[in-house]
A and B are shown apart, each in its own frame.
Chain A
Amino acid sequence: MAAPKKGRNASAQSKPGRSLALILIAIVALTGGMFASGHTTPRLGIDLAGGTSITLRAVPEKGQESAINKTNMDTAVDIMNRRVNGLGVSEAEVQTQGDKNIIVNIPKGTNSKEAREQVGTTAKLYFRPVLATEVSGSAATASPSPSASGSASSDSDKATDKTSSSPSATASATPSASATSQGRAVTDALKADATPSGSASASASASASASASPSASSSASAGDADSKLQAAYTALDCTKKAERATAGDGAKSTDSTVACGQNSQGQWQKYILGPAEVDGTDVKKAQAVFNTQTAAGWTVTMDFTSKGSKKFASITGKLAQNQSPQNQFAIVLDGEVVSDPYVSQALTGGSAEISGSFDQEEAQSLANMLSYGALPLTFKEDSVTTVTAALGGEQLHAGLIAGAIGLALVVIYLLVYYRGLSFIAVTSLLVSALLTYVIMALLGPAIGFALNLPAVCGAIVAIGITADSFIVYFERVRDEIREGRSLRPAVERAWPRARRTILVSDFVSFLAAAVLFIVTVGKVQGFAFTLGLTTLLDVVVVFLFTKPLLTLMARRKFFASGHKWSGLDPKSLGAKPPLRRTRRPAGSAAGPVDPKEA
């Protein structure tokens, strides 16, 4: 690109009007398009409009580094999008950035905290058998939970409401042979303290029979159960947020653990959970459906993978033989029990339905979580920026003022230095600014471009780059005049050489912007984008506007005669009178540049 073709300048110089007309048509078309599209201002980023921006980073699981790939990231974005927008956030946007980042932008006026929690609960999903559960903390009296299936097991649900924070049930743990073959610990006493199992106490869809036969082994003798787990369970107070957050931390999926969950009455319930039997990757998909046939209302259907359905059949087969609460399995997301449906029979069909007193939102949310957990990706919040609308407005204001000051300073400098010539420079700058604005406004709806503070910064910095192109050209023209040429030939001769310099230096600048854009994340990208855009526009403006305009202006008497205020006065430029110049021998070092090749 550094070596323009011969003869191209010839056509450019002969038809300055054509280039000018071209760029004018382009401007009119773009501006018209802008008004037609109805987006007359660039879309503002979170830092200028106010709102919350969350940057999430996918954290690879050990041995699963390859899980962070485009497909999984896209799926995660998809799900987050649905979840965030499911909150009624109309214009939230979720997009990947780089290879392992996801940016969630939530505009002002929406409940950013809730949204943050929604996208934040992005951890792994497990299905664990419930060994014991009770309402934790000093919760109010819980009413019996609705149970869609009306199975026999609900009797025990209604039995008691445990309200004490420290359960009296400190009896020795009993290995429950029936639950799994691994000999998990469970307490007899705790079992008796069965609590309402909340909205989630739903039956698997196929459960026609309501036969929860007591497991024979449940009353087996006390063994040296996991007393540590028991102690943790006893101490756990799920009403405290801090304890909730740390409950079961560090537990492996193959170990028993304690966890908290919220039931339909909004009470916190605590659980002892067995090892994970099925995990999120085993769920092929989950959907919220409105079941019109059984009048069960909103339910969530799950489809398992072939491996998952085998595992699920086995766990449900075992669970179905147990008594409540050990016939329940807990769906654990990020250490928290999101649902704990009970099972009334083995489910072998590879799909299951969770029913209960869900409303649409709850069902949707559970379905999302189930689908979400199917991703082997964990996300960490890398940065959360909340900008109030007032601060955003202030920053936008400051950015605009800074831009205005920068532009004014450049215009003044050009005016002082180039005088009449600066008219061309300033109009070119204005054309450039107009084009940048219009394109930014159009790119908003087109590719989701949002103007943020670094982008404003990039645009301001670009004033310098754009102005520099004119300086390169004008200095060349002046050099030609200094050599005694009159303006019109000077303008034409200076162009090929200036053009090359402009192209080479703009290319380097564009390269920097492109590399920045591709490699970096977050705010840096916005900056790089505007820088690249303005560099491209600079080339367009110089070629199609500045050069033709100068060609036209060179025909005017004011410039052509080298008026004192034109900035092209041969005398003040110190031009040599052509007559005095002697012909240099061909091949001397500095001179031998054929302008045709320059």
Chain B
Amino acid sequence: MSKLGSLGARLHRGEVGYDFVGNRKIWYGISILITITAIVGLAVRGLNMGIEFQGGAVFTTPKGTHASVSQAETYAEEASGHDAIVQKLGDDSLRIQIAGIDTDKSDQIKEELAKDLKVDSEKIGADLVGPSWGDQIANKAWQGLGIFLVLVVIYLAIAFEWRMALAAFVALIHDITITTGIYALVGFEVTPGTVIGLLTILGYSLYDTVVVFDSLKEQTRDITKQTRWTYSDVANRSINSTLVRSINTTVVALLPVAGLLFIGGGVLGAGMLNDISLSLFVGLAAGAYSSIFIATPLVADLKEREPQMKALRKRVLAKRAQAAAKGESPEPETAAETFADDEPADATPAVVGPRNQPASRNRGRGRPSGKRR
């Protein structure tokens, strides 16, 4: 802890930090590259849609079924007249997946399977899905996604401002594209569980973004009243000061999901738990990345286009130049950098001097908050 704790302290004071905003073009580039890969993957390979989206049946035999995978496959194909996919799960139980059969025929197939595999048909679990069920779930999911995006953009536009809402929106689309792209590229099966996971990412990805934005909003409240920092500087500091929290959040969110993934994949073999946790795992990682590397720099970019912020940037740069000329710069290293470079936002120095102490004014007034009633 002490290592991370002191790193947290240094991040907090702005002694160390990574210039997320300054290097944003690199990260934009990387994200665009990943997104293009994802889209190409989606277009070329397509998604491996699960049985729920084609219609069919999944039978789960009880533990200790004495039949090999290939045997079961033959049985299943004989019984149904369709191709069957058989997976071995833990405890010798089998998962037999037959696409394209009617829900009416399933009972008959189940009986035959039970006979062939010499198990009680009552002990075979069956999941029968009509061909439109998956589409229905997917349609509802799209609908949900649409409604949620509209509501969230409205909410963020009210609670923060439209630029942040837009940036959060872009980050969200980014996360979803990447997640679906990974599904297409790796060829994971898409099931309703995956859709659930994907929809949950929405909430989570935004959750992370919102925390960074909250800090950004707080720190930029009176930004125009000073001439020390540009908006990008402050944005960068917001990211850095919430970095420890972002890491912690992501770790804490990923740990239970990892537990689910381990149990879902390792013990149950396949199913709902696995599907949800896999898409969550991928999406959470993408979400953490996008809130730091995409959303906030994007806000800074948008903000810097505002005339007010442009003017501020001019004043800040002028003041820094002046200070450097006088030779009594408050932040020698950054001032020098800025002096040498007149380009807009991307030239912003990585580390912008010690963090301001929010409490300093109040301390000066000798009014410790603990005694406020």
Contact = CB atoms under 8 A, between A and B. Distances in A.
A391 B60 contact: yes
B372 A589 contact: no
A398 B122 contact: no
**Top 6 nearest A-B pairs by Cβ distance?**
A574-B9, A406-B256, A512-B203, A590-B356, A591-B356, A464-B253
A57 interface: yes
B123 A390 contact: yes
A70 to B, nearest CB: 18
Contact of A513 (B203, B360, B370): B203
A512 B148 contact: yes
Nearest to A458: B200
A384 B128 contact: yes
Interface string A464-496: 110110011001001110110100110011000
A576 B12 CA distance: 11
A10 B5 contact: no
Given A507-B155, A589-B229, 20 more contacts: A382-B136, A383-B133, A385-B127, A386-B124, A388-B124, A395-B271, A402-B263, A417-B1, A457-B272, A457-B273, A464-B256, A472-B245, A501-B214, A512-B203, A520-B141, A521-B140, A523-B193, A523-B196, A524-B195, A594-B362
A395 B268 contact: yes
Interface string B206-231: 11001100110011111101101100
Give chain A's interface secondary structure class.
helix
A457 B252 contact: no
Contacts of B373: 10, 14
A493 B362 CA distance: 11
A482 B124 contact: no
A395 B273 CA distance: 9
A384 B13 contact: no
B148 A511 contact: yes
A528 B328 CA distance: 58
Nearest to B127: A385
Contact of A512 (B2, B133, B199, B361): B199
A587 B222 contact: yes
A516 interface: yes
Interface string A397-413: 01101111111111001
B63 A390 contact: yes
Contact of A519 (B63, B140, B211, B242): B140
B1 A572 contact: yes
Interface in A356-410: 380-388, 390-391, 394-395, 398-399, 401-410
B207 A508 contact: yes
A592 interface: yes
21 contacts: A10-B372, A385-B127, A391-B62, A401-B267, A406-B259, A410-B252, A464-B256, A468-B252, A471-B248, A471-B252, A472-B249, A483-B357, A483-B359, A501-B214, A512-B200, A516-B144, A520-B137, A520-B144, A574-B10, A588-B228, A592-B356
A418 B1 contact: yes
Contacts of A520: 137, 140-141, 144, 199
Interface in B67-88: none
B365 to A, nearest CB: 10
A407 B158 CA distance: 35
Interface stretch (B27-35, B103-111, B179-187, B296-304): B103-111
Contact of B132 (A57, A416, A468, A574): A57
B255 A478 contact: no
Nearest to A453: B272
Contacts of A513: 203
A320 interface: no
B271 to A, nearest CB: 7
A398 B206 contact: no
Nearest to B372: A10
A453 B355 CA distance: 47
Nearest to A520: B140
Interface of B: 1-2, 4-6, 8-10, 12-13, 52, 60, 62-63, 103-104, 106-107, 122-130, 132-133, 136-137, 140-141, 143-144, 147-148, 151-152, 155, 159, 192-193, 195-196, 199-200, 202-204, 206-207, 210-211, 214-215, 218-223, 225-226, 228-229, 233-234, 237, 241-242, 244-245, 248-249, 251-260, 262-264, 267-268, 271-273, 276-277, 280, 355-364, 368-370, 372-373
A254 to B, nearest CB: 27
A584 B357 contact: yes
Given A10-B372, A482-B12, A504-B159, A588 B356 contact: yes
A57 B132 CA distance: 10
A590 B237 contact: yes
Contacts of B203: 508-509, 511-513, 531
B76 to A, nearest CB: 16
Nearest to B147: A515
B130 A460 contact: no
A416 B5 CA distance: 11
Contacts of B12: 479, 482, 574
Contacts of B268: 394-395, 398
A426 to B, nearest CB: 12
B194 to A, nearest CB: 11
A511 B152 contact: yes
A228 interface: no
Contact of A524 (B60, B123, B199, B234): B199
Contacts of A483: 357-359
Contact of A409 (B237, B249, B258): B258
Contacts of A575: 9
A7 to B, nearest CB: 9
Contact of B223 (A512, A572, A589): A589
A524 B272 contact: no
A475 B128 contact: no
A588 B140 contact: no
Contacts of B210: 501, 504-505, 508
Nearest to A521: B140
Contacts of A574: 5-6, 8-10, 12-13
Contacts of A419: 1
A264 B144 CA distance: 51
Contact of B252 (A460, A467, A511): A467
B144 A386 contact: no
B259 A405 contact: yes
Contacts of B207: 465, 468, 505, 508-509
Contacts of A531: 200, 203
Nearest to B234: A589
Given A471-B245, A524-B196, A590-B358, A403 B259 contact: yes
A8 interface: no
Contacts of B123: 388, 390
Interface string A1-42: 010000000100010000000000000000000000000000
Nearest to B272: A453
A245 interface: yes
A590 B234 contact: yes
Contacts of A594: 361-362
Contacts of A395: 268, 271, 273
A391 B199 contact: no
Contacts of B152: 508, 511-512
A527 interface: yes
Nearest to A506: B207
A399 B60 contact: no
Contacts of B204: 465, 509
B362 A573 contact: no
Contacts of A390: 62-63, 123
A522 B192 contact: yes
A62 interface: no
B318 to A, nearest CB: 16
A158 interface: no
A594 to B, nearest CB: 7
Contacts of A406: 255-260
Contact of B359 (A471, A493, A573): A493
A583 interface: yes
Nearest to A494: B369
